[in-house]
Structure 1
Amino acid sequence: MRVNKILVHFLSLVMLGLLFPASIQARDLPNFADLAEENAPSVVNISTKQKFLGRNLQRFNIPELEDLPEGSPLGELMKKFFGNHGFPMPDEGPEKRSLGSGFIISEDGYILTNNHVVDEADQILVRMNDRREFVAEVVGKDERSDIALIKIDAEDLPVVEIGNSKQLRVGEWVLAIGSPFGFDHSVTAGIVSAKGRNLPSENYVPFIQTDVAINPGNSGGPLFNLDGKVVGINSQIYSRSGGFMGLSFAIPIEMAIDVAEQLKTRGRVTRGWLGVLIQDVTNELADSFGMRHPRGALIARVLPDSPSEAAGLQVGDVILEFNGTRIATSSELPPLVGSSNVDKPATVKILRNGKTKEIEVNIGELPADEELELASNQAPKVSENRLGLMVSKVSPQLRKQLRLSSQRGVVVDSATGQAAREAGIQQGDIIVMINQQEVEGVEHFNQLVKELPADKTVPLLVHRNTGPIFLALRVPEE
């Protein structure tokens, strides 16, 4: 009897489950079949060849032939095979081949891909989904964004539909089509892991991070949303093995299209420029600036003759907003500035000495090379202060090497105190500002140190071989 009751309950549960549709039992996973089939014809395989030139030597000379005695059997044998001056060398070495992907953006043959796919290529071959092949020419390429625009001589080609990456949400499904390891038109899918990622080598690109399986050969291929629209260009992976490890990065399609249009019309890309070196605001620095929580981009240096200098931005200002867009971390600022129109005004909201204010900056054009050559040096030592720092005057040679425009600052000769070590102060650092006051010299620095409030965290601006940086210094108790 008990068995019958259990059986009745079990059957009831089964019947109850059948009453509910599958959509209620479990949400269906997306079906990518139609999306992949519709967009595969507009995705291409790109293969390149690069020739290694020889040393432009017609022959490899053997000077020892002239030193052999006349009539020597060895000399006669060498001349018989190699002539009087040696043997011929090939003018060219082996070819370097590489693979990548791309996608068609116009019916007349314009194709978007990555710069690193076609860079320094002597020949670019594009293979379509229907196996047709075309030789492509480079229209233009931009190393900073890793975007290249190429063209093939064809008409009535299938094109992708351009989407909006700004509407992507973290957790949303996306799909990639490309040629990993040369396997044409391979389809992989995943989700958006994060947006606005900043990579060290390309701080002007707010990458889309996904967990879509991307491998060598996928570079330059499209990233689609579920509507079948391109939202990014697959560009990089993070890997310790050379293969996919769940971290892949795509360039937002809006940036790629903007770069492509500039390359097509002008042959080069212009970017907005403020002329500041920035860093993140840490919890300790936020506390020293009187901020409730860390956010914004802290100005560590204002470059001379820059738009920021002309507008009155200062070292120690925290940029909170740019043209109305809130800045959470320093990595969010360069893409916003870079995409701004040159010679147009922009409104920058800053925090200075505990108060917010807005400053209008006329955006300049990013120079071709803004890297600063920095070096470190040492100078004679002086007495130690309460922070355990031994500092001295900055020599003219060191000031020239660091390109310090002002005569202020002191050089750190040793940092033995606990407070200095915990702040990360290093030997060779140039301290130019402490507690938001510029350092006039050694005596002035020691006086400022004496006046520091005990058991408080204060900002310290230093210059070192990697550039200017703010440090948070916890002042010890008396």
Structure 2
Amino acid sequence: MEHNFQPQAITDGNGKIRFVSSRTGSASLDNYPDFTQAAGIATRQVVHIKVQLSGQNYNSRPESYFGAPQQSAPVMASGSGVILSQDGYIVTNNHVVEDASDIQVVLTDKRTFQAKLIGRDPNTDLALIKIDATGLSPVKLGNSDEVQIGQWVLAIGYPLSLNTTVTAGIVSAKERSIGLIGSKEQENNQEGASSAASSAVEAYIQTDAAINPGNSGGALVNTNGELIGINAAIASQTGGYQGYGFAIPVNLTRKIVDDLRKFGTVKRGLLGVSFPTPATEDEVLRQRGISPESVKGVYITGVQDGSAAAAAGLKEGDVIQSIDSVKVNSSVELSERIAMHHPGDQIKLSYLREGKGVNTIATLKGQAAENLNASTGPSINEIYNKLGAKFAPLGPQIKQRYQVNSGMVVTAIARGGFFEQIGIQPGSIIVSINGTEVNNPIELNKAFMTATQGTIRIACITPDGSKIIFNLSLGA
């Protein structure tokens, strides 16, 4: 909307000439939203989180989270958090507090508290901490299902270790999956840490509100000051703001933090179906002779034996169209809807089979039940066939060229496999699987098999030196 301001000369009652500005055009300042009330409310509810990390743990963090630099000595890192209760419960990102040896929280009035880790969930990148305080101002939770593309939002946090900062923008997209979260298996679970669940859940709200390093765990609020998301990531070539920010929807956040508060871990219901990732869905459908635009819902490529989906009668080739009467148009929406439920919850599924609508009730199972049937999941050979690639250990010259200490090189790509579909070329280097470094076939097999119930997250360096991270979904 363009506004033109032109100076005009007028004569006052004393005959003196003065200049005033007159606006041309039909627009009025009343058309602009007033963010002062929302900012005034929400800034009191966002805190600064400071953590101490060992050099080793700090280096293991993916650079895609706000472009964190590599360091070797013990360092202080920082992020943001949102107050959930008067007695000191605070939500933040898992990657803010993961591997932290010390967590401190600084309130807007400069009071500093030692924080305790209550629990964390790597599969949604959320964590819950608590400080020993009373009389705090908790945020009011909104409804992320009601968020509309184009609506105004505010991003609030502590970017670049500055004081509370508020930026404005709009919702650019919903249900975004950017392949950032992976299922990092925890070999030594510490007290208060949740174990990695079955699969990553990414259903981000995308915004162009300026987000920078340090905004992790901060608030995305609407113009009423209500929390609609937890700021989590940016897409950037520089590590700084380039117009693409991502926030975890508050409806999913509510379920995760409630579980962490009650159990210290996340109780996630599992349906037990496989489907293509958003990046490969169209290609997978075309390979099966299906026009992507004809699929109105989520196409199921597999059903795990003994799963909730199998008990409900779902089969490969079915198209799930709604859960509890809420339409699902993508695998991202399906994963988010399932992730909001607990084991034992019953959900109503509507799906298409050979063009005919079918309704059924599925009783979701838990992670423990699914693990009992792990032998029915994909075998290592099936995973390799799905990837469509062969691998070999790195030689010292390649390690030196790409400045890496670990990895497996892709030696061959099979037609129709996942790697071919997303454009991975021979000569690419697989650095890690689900956050675990791989150096030989044994480590590679082990890393793949630990994720046979969920998502395989692959960190890769392409032959031209570009660093990419992508997910291969094995189910939900």
Q: Which amino acid aligns with 1:336?
A: R
- Label 1:152 to 1:359 Cα distance change in 2 as closer, same or farther (>3 A): same
Offset at residue 292 of structure 1 (A): 7.4
Q: What is residue 375 of structure 1 aligned with on the other side? A: 381
Q: Which has the higher contact order (CA 8 A, sep 6+)?
A: 2
TM-score of the aligned structures, taking structure 2 as reference length? 0.63
Q: Does 1:166 find its partner at 2:130?
A: no
Judge conservation of contact 2:37–2:225 (CA < 8 Å) in 1.
no
Q: Which amino acid aligns with 2:159?
A: P
Q: Does 1:274 find its partner at 2:271?
A: yes
* Residue 111 (structure 1) aligned to one of 69, 87, 90: 90
Corresponding residue SS for 2:82: strand
Q: Which amino acid aligns with 1:253?
A: V
Q: What is residue 43 of structure 1 aligned with on the other side? A: 46
Judge conservation of contact 2:211–2:245 (CA < 8 Å) in 1.
yes
Offset at residue 291 of structure 1 (A): 9.1
Corresponding residue SS for 1:40: helix
Q: Which amino acid aligns with 2:304?
A: L
- Label 1:164 to 1:300 Cα distance change in 2 as closer, same or farther (>3 A): same
**Which runs of 5 or more residues in structure 1 are unaligned?**
1-9, 12-17, 55-92, 380-413, 426-464, 470-478
- Label 1:136 to 1:321 Cα distance change in 2 as closer, same or farther (>3 A): same
Corresponding residue SS for 1:204: coil
Which is further off, 324-333 or 282-291?
Answer: 282-291
Note the alpha carbon deviations across 1:83-110, whole angstroms, 9 max, x for none: xxxxxxxxxx842221100121111111
Corresponding residue SS for 2:74: strand
Offset at residue 362 of structure 1 (A): 1.8
Note the alpha carbon deviations across 1:132-187, whole angstroms, 9 max, x for none: 11111111111111111111111112222222222221111111111111012011
Q: Does 1:228 find its partner at 2:204?
A: no
Task: Return the alpha-carbon distance in structure 1 between the equivalents of residues 340 and 367 of structure 2.
Answer: 11
Which is further off, 94-103 or 118-127?
Answer: 94-103
Task: Return the alpha-carbon distance in structure 1 between the equivalents of residues 291 and 267 of structure 2.
Answer: 37
After TM superposition, the structure 1 = structure 2 runs for residues 346-385 of structure 1, keeping only pairs within 5 Å, are 346-366=347-367, 372=378, 374-375=380-381
Note the alpha carbon deviations across 1:20-73, whole angstroms, 9 max, x for none: 99985465322323332333222111110123599xxxxxxxxxxxxxxxxxxx
Q: Which amino acid aligns with 1:42?
A: Q
Offset at residue 336 of structure 1 (A): 1.1
Q: What is residue 253 of structure 1 aligned with on the other side? A: 250
Which is further off, 153-162 or 195-204?
Answer: 195-204
- Label 1:377 to 1:42 Cα distance change in 2 as closer, same or farther (>3 A): closer
- Label 1:291 to 1:256 Cα distance change in 2 as closer, same or farther (>3 A): closer
Q: What is residue 63 of structure 1 aligned with on the other side? A: none
After TM superposition, the structure 1 = structure 2 runs for residues 360-439 of structure 1, keeping only pairs within 5 Å, are 360-366=361-367, 372=378, 374-375=380-381
Q: Runs of 4 or more off by more than 6 Å in structure 1?
A: 18-23, 368-371, 376-379, 465-469
Judge conservation of contact 1:47–1:98 (CA < 8 Å) in 2.
yes
Corresponding residue SS for 1:158: coil
Note the alpha carbon deviations across 1:229-261, whole angstroms, 9 max, x for none: 111110111111111111111111122122111
Task: Return the alpha-carbon distance in structure 2 between the equivalents of residues 37 and 44 of structure 1.
Answer: 14
* Residue 28 (structure 1) aligned to one of 28, 31, 34: 31
Q: What is residue 14 of structure 1 aligned with on the other side? A: none
After TM superposition, the structure 1 = structure 2 runs for residues 82-161 of structure 1, keeping only pairs within 5 Å, are 94-161=73-140
Task: Return the alpha-carbon distance in structure 1 between the equivalents of residues 22 and 178 of structure 2.
Answer: 51
Q: Which amino acid aligns with 2:301?
A: A
Q: Which amino acid aligns with 2:219?
A: P
Offset at residue 270 of structure 1 (A): 1.2
Task: Return the alpha-carbon distance in structure 2 between the equivalents of residues 314 and 364 of structure 1.
Answer: 17
Offset at residue 365 of structure 1 (A): 1.8
Corresponding residue SS for 1:217: coil
Task: Return the alpha-carbon distance in structure 2 between the equivalents of residues 183 and 154 of structure 1.
Answer: 23
Q: Which amino acid aligns with 2:381?
A: A
Task: Return the alpha-carbon distance in structure 1 between the equivalents of residues 312 and 350 of structure 2.
Answer: 12
- Label 1:139 to 1:415 Cα distance change in 2 as closer, same or farther (>3 A): closer
**Which runs of 5 or more residues in structure 2 are unaligned?**
1-8, 11-20, 58-71, 182-199, 386-412, 422-457, 459-470
Judge conservation of contact 1:308–1:361 (CA < 8 Å) in 2.
yes
* Count, aligned residues: 338
Q: What is residue 326 of structure 2 aligned with on the other side? A: 325
Q: What is residue 441 of structure 2 aligned with on the other side? A: none
Instruction: Tell me the C-alpha RMSD between the 2 structures.
Output: 3.7
Task: Return the alpha-carbon distance in structure 1 between the equivalents of residues 472 and 170 of structure 2.
Answer: 37
Judge conservation of contact 2:173–2:207 (CA < 8 Å) in 1.
yes
Task: Return the alpha-carbon distance in structure 1 between the equivalents of residues 80 and 32 of structure 2.
Answer: 27
Task: Return the alpha-carbon distance in structure 2 between the equivalents of residues 266 and 218 of structure 1.
Answer: 27
Percent identity of equivalent pairs:
35
Offset at residue 331 of structure 1 (A): 2.2
Corresponding residue SS for 2:295: coil
Structure (1 or 2) with the larger CA radius of gyration: 1
Note the alpha carbon deviations across 1:277-302, whole angstroms, 9 max, x for none: 11266496599569972321111111
- Label 1:227 to 1:375 Cα distance change in 2 as closer, same or farther (>3 A): same
TM-score of the aligned structures, taking structure 1 as reference length? 0.63
Task: Return the alpha-carbon distance in structure 2 between the equivalents of residues 207 and 378 of structure 1.
Answer: 29
Q: Does 1:210 find its partner at 2:189?
A: no
- Label 1:310 to 1:50 Cα distance change in 2 as closer, same or farther (>3 A): same
After TM superposition, the structure 1 = structure 2 runs for residues 462-477 of structure 1, keeping only pairs within 5 Å, are none
Q: Which amino acid aligns with 1:223?
A: L
Q: Which amino acid aligns with 1:39?
A: A
Judge conservation of contact 1:374–1:467 (CA < 8 Å) in 2.
no
- Label 1:53 to 1:345 Cα distance change in 2 as closer, same or farther (>3 A): closer
